[in-house]
Structure 1
Amino acid sequence: MEGSSVAGSERPRPGPEAAPAAVPGILHLDMDAFFAAVEQAAKPSLRGKPVVVGGLGPRGVVATASYEARRFGVHSAMAMAQARRLCPNAAFLSGRFHAYRQVSEVVMRTLRELSPLVEPVSLDEAFVDLRAGVHGAALAEAAERGERAVVAMVEALAEDLRADIRARTGLTASVGVAGTKLLAKLASERAKPDGLVVFPPGRDREVLAPLPVRALWGVGPATAEHLRRAGLKTVGDVAEQPEGVLVRLLGQAHGHGLHALARGEDARQVVAERDAKSISVEDTFDTDLVDRQRLRAELERLARRCVARLREAGRSGRTIVVKVRRHDFATLTRSDTLPAPTDDVRVVTEVARRLLEAVDTSGGVRLLGVGISGLADFTQEDLFVALGGPEDGAAPAADGTGGWAGEPGTAGARADVDGAGGDGAVGGVGPVGASPATGAAVAPWRPGQDVHHPEYGPGWVQGSGVGRVTVRFERPDSPPGRVRTFAVDDPDLTPADPLPLVPPAG
């Protein structure tokens, strides 16, 4: 879907004597196939071709698929093995968190030019309250002139926003605008890809009624099945029920909330700069890990990544959490709460190691994670001494009840984007290459990874194995580049930072 549309626009417009229209002032922006789109923009040879980003191991899952790959049935959260069967000729890449974050920062800055009330939901998605921005007064004046005027102004603002984002990043965004968060989100989904949909004021129940119940926030597969058994399949079915019926079916809080949403009653406000509740990283391994020494090494690597993420956010934390998913899919968490916040990698590693020792891993570990919660803006410099270093072994007692730091819905969970690839977070750690000269293990090269060669310049890894790594040398602003192969331990081939995207001319 391209361009813009107004849902329900076939209805007669109010005349000059009509009451002022409400302002559809909440905008929801969702970048189109964001991770894959960034990869295509950065890699000229992939433009117009199917691209799948995610974990590349046997247990990996798809984070994002380009629209070219979606035509083959590939979608997010699909097992990577199934995606390979559906679209074997796609480019399968691990995630590049830093590249995605760079582009996200440009997008969020652009949104803040429109309004100070910007609520990021993830790197590629945000709500904006247009009424709080520089155009708030003009929107109110347009509403005084009726629905046609206010919708026309909202459309113009949203189209200008989409044009600005495309000019600055080269990527497309879908935008929905409505009077509530729920409707704005539904509008942006209807606008995909690369479109704009505005739901005029006063049409909430009309828009919602025919949708399946899964369209409502808080309705997952289990709740949808519960409602279906009660004969409630659409949002309109739910809205027609007395609130008491839903309370009996789903409980007081859920029933009350769902009844309100089904009737278009969504009082949630756009909240700027929502604080992250936690920061976490985790890896799912290609094969279950049994060796304790390997588990300790993986835990230490995760602790370093988690602390690096913590420091990037300018935060510290008090509660250290270790998450273990065993071979039988049983998931355990253990936590310690420190006497003061820290961002010291030694402290985090030491506490995480002790927590892991308290978990029975003899049957094998499928997933391992480290998280930090209880975030603060300061640190305790001598915390490691206060805890007791390796010499005396002192440490707080594990309470064994701490929750996983990256619970769904928290900013910490959403921020862990390179969990879809990165160091192998979803897809596993990947195969370790071996030096052709010595046979020694060397760090793995990840498909999609940025590299640099002193003779050939910037490029990216297409694949590696049997002691060799294949690299395509190209830039965002170059034609598709040539492919060259090197030994995995070639000293001239080094990891590199992502190059900035180059918006299209004009």
Structure 2
Amino acid sequence: MDNVILHVDMDAFFASVEQRDNPDIKGKPVIVGGISERGVVSTCSYEARKYGVHSAMPMFMAREKCPNGIFVSGRYGKYAKVSQEIFEIFNEVTPLVEPVSIDEGFLDLSQGKIKDGIEAARYIKNRVFKEVGLTLSIGISYNKFLAKLASEWNKPNGIKEIRKEMIPDILFPLPISKVHGLGKVSVAKLNNMGIYYIEELYKMPKEFYIEYLGKNGIEIYDRIRGIDGRKVELIRERKSIGKERTLKFDTKNKEELREYIKEFSFEIEEILNRKNVSGKTVTLKFKTKDFENHTRSKTLNYYIGTQIEIYKVAEELLDSEELKEEVRLIGVSISSFKETEVQQMSLL
């Protein structure tokens, strides 16, 4: 029997929490992020997306595109608590849950109390809506690549299953940018060769993938044929935990970059709490527009794990940098872990 993998993705998570908590803005274009002119969009509601607003967009551009939008400064502590409530429901369905970020995760149903994908998806959606008041989209398939692809199919509030017999035909009309592992540079290279859709890429011989896509070529060859051997990992033995993002627009503006660092620090805190660990080495990573990688680290003589602590160190690292070139990618990570000590309160 094939594995049954779910990819669960919360719909416009930060904005949806704001709309849930403030009914007056429900159904309106809500934009969450740094609300200063130099801030960036963390996420936005689907109503705002109709105006062309998207995450990582500079706030001044969001205001131009959506002048009637409702701009909200993020309440990251609140989002972390809501995320925890939702992941607790996932863990009741199956012990094999792999958090990908604060608002998405993979579930392997092989050891779950519900083995059928559609049944599990409906159960999760109903409970999350009833108990948390939010919607999410769920993709179901026999591997991680196809499950994640399926979760994007009917957003928002959708369920989509991709079965083995649907492959490869269901993939053929999709743009190659949908293939996990193909980054912007590879997509642009293939587009320049006249390859825009998966069907066109599928027809190429295996040697083509190796020659033009390098070490990841065979993985791409396999994925568009429905093959992905990655497992849902309950515990990841990581040397570091981090978040990074390629920016929509290159920038040297440190105020904009601080907004990203703040968001990453919040997500890292949430992952540390799940794993019950803390760390003492914070690393700032950035890539300039000419694709030069830079990393700067600071090791403390004590362990940290909160958003405020991580952000403070990462901000110091950023402030110490003289950015001569515009930045196209920014990231933060933490390492040198130890298990967090949890004190049990006495019943007396």
Q: Are the structure 2 counterparts of residues 321 and 125 from structure 1 closer, same or farther at C-alpha, using a change threshold of 3 Å? A: closer
Residue 222 (structure 2) aligns with: 260
Question: 2:340 & 2:194 partners in 1: Cα distance?
Answer: 53
Amino acid at match of 1:261: R
Q: What's 1:129 paired with? A: 108
| Residue 120 (structure 2) aligns with | 157
Map of 2:21 onto structure 1 = 42
Q: Does 1:26 align with 2:9?
A: no
**TM-score computed with the length of structure 2 as normaliser:** 0.78
Structure-1 residue corresponding to 2:233 = 271
Deviations 1:188-212 (A, max 9, x none): 1112111211122322212112211
- Give ranges in structure 2 of 5+ residues lacking alignment: 246-251, 342-348
- Listed one character per residue, the Cα deviations across residues 387-413 of structure 1 (whole Å, up to 9, x for unaligned) are xxxxxxxxxxxxxxxxxxxxxxxxxxx
Determine if contact 1:31/1:174 at 8 Å carries over to the other structure: yes
Secondary structure in 1 aligned to 2:83? helix
Q: Name the structure 1 match of 2:133.
A: 170
Work out the CA distance in 2 between the residues paired with 1:238 and 1:180.
20
Residue 39 of structure 2 corresponds to 60
1:250 aligns with 2:213: yes
Out of 232, 236, 242, the residue aligned to residue 199 of structure 2 is 236
C-alpha displacement of 1:371: 5.0
Distance in 1 between residues matched to 2:271 and 2:89, nearest whole Å: 25
Residues 315 and 376, structure 1, Cα contact 8 Å, conserved in 2: yes
Structure 1: 5+ residue stretches without partners? 1-21, 137-152, 290-298, 380-506
* Aligned pairs (5 A) from 1:449-468: none
The structure-2 alpha-carbon separation of the partners of 1:186 and 1:92, relative to structure 1 and needing over 3 Å to count, comes to same
Q: Work out the CA distance in 2 between the residues paired with 1:341 and 1:243.
A: 50
Q: Provide the aligned C-alpha RMSD in A.
A: 4.1
Structure 1 residues 270-315: Cα deviation after superposition (integer angstroms, max 9, x where no partner): 11143562358999644999xxxxxxxxx9x99x999987985643
**CA drift at 1:258:** 1.0
Q: For the residues of structure 1 that align with 2:336 and 2:204, how far apart are their CA atoms?
A: 41
Which residue of 2 is the match for residue 74 of structure 1? 53
Amino acid at match of 1:188: S
The 3 A distance-change label for structure 1 pair 330 and 359 is farther
1:174 alignment partner, SS class: strand
Alignment correspondent of 1:334: 296
Total equivalences in the alignment: 324
The superposition leaves residues 451-477 of structure 1 with CA deviations (integer Å, 9 ceiling, x where unpaired) of xxxxxxxxxxxxxxxxxxxxxxxxxxx
Aligned pairs for 1:389-428 within 5 A = none
- Which protein is richer in helix relative to its size? 2
Counterpart CA distance in 2 for 1:362 and 1:246 is: 36
Structure with more relative contact order (C-alpha pairs < 8 Å, separation 6 or more): 1
Q: Deviation per CA, 1:138-161, whole angstroms, max 9, x where unpaired?
A: xxxxxxxxxxxxxxx532332122
2: CA distance, partners of 1:378 / 1:46 = 39
Q: Which amino acid aligns with 1:214?
A: S
Instruction: State the identity as a percent.
Output: 36
Task: Indicate if the aligned counterparts of 2:269 and 2:305 stay in contact, CA closer than 8 A.
Answer: no
Amino acid at match of 2:207: G
CA distance in 2, matches of 1:220, 1:30: 21
- 1:317 counterpart = 2:279: yes
Question: Is the CA contact (8 Å cut-off) linking 1:23 and 1:201 kept in structure 2?
Answer: no
Deviation at 1:356, TM superposition (A): 5.5
Q: Secondary structure at the match of 2:222?
A: helix
Using structure 1 for the length normalisation, give the TM-score. 0.55
Which residue pairs with 1:99 in the alignment?
Answer: 78
| Structure number, greater radius of gyration | 1
Q: CA deviation at 1:369?
A: 8.5
Distance change >3 Å, CA 279–CA 377, structure 1 → 2? farther
Question: Deviations for 1:56-93, whole angstroms, at most 9, x for unmatched residues?
Answer: 22332212111221222222222221111111111101
**Between 237-246 and 101-110, the greater mean CA deviation after superposition:** 237-246
- Name the aligned partner's letter for residue 84 of structure 2: E
Maintained 8 Å contact 1:307/1:343: no
Secondary structure of residue in 2 paired with 1:227: helix
